[in-house]
Amino acid sequence: MFKKSRKSPVILLYHGHVLMENHSGPVVGAVVSHADVLAKRASALRLLDGVPGAHAKTVGADKAYDIRDFVNDYRARNRDTACRAQR
């Protein structure tokens, strides 16, 4: 968070992204990106590209990732089907 002066609003400059293993919860990867609308999904794909192994991987995510572009990009990387929030 950045604040120019006491009267100016707080500005979010960076996002921290963490990829965690689902069962036991250790951190598998982490990246920092500039705060913008697409940073969350772009960083998720970047983190998933770094996961080792040739086997298919399933991803669980919240509704912010239930976007056609993200799901198509994920599938184009020869991964298993994304597990999306369906509410």
Sign of CA dihedral 74, 78, 84, 86: positive
Sorted by where each begins, the domain ranges of the chain are 14-76
Question: Quick check: 80 and 56 in contact, CB under 8 A?
Answer: yes
3-state DSSP assignment of residue 2: strand
Question: Quick check: 31 and 43 in contact, CB under 8 A?
Answer: yes
Tell me what pLDDT residue 32 has.
93
Mean pLDDT by 10 residues, the chain (87 residues): 71 85 86 86 88 77 82 76 54
Q: What is the pTM of this model?
A: 0.70
Residue with tokens 């400059």: 13
- For residue 36, give both structure tokens: 């913008």
- Element housing 18 (H / E): strand 14-20
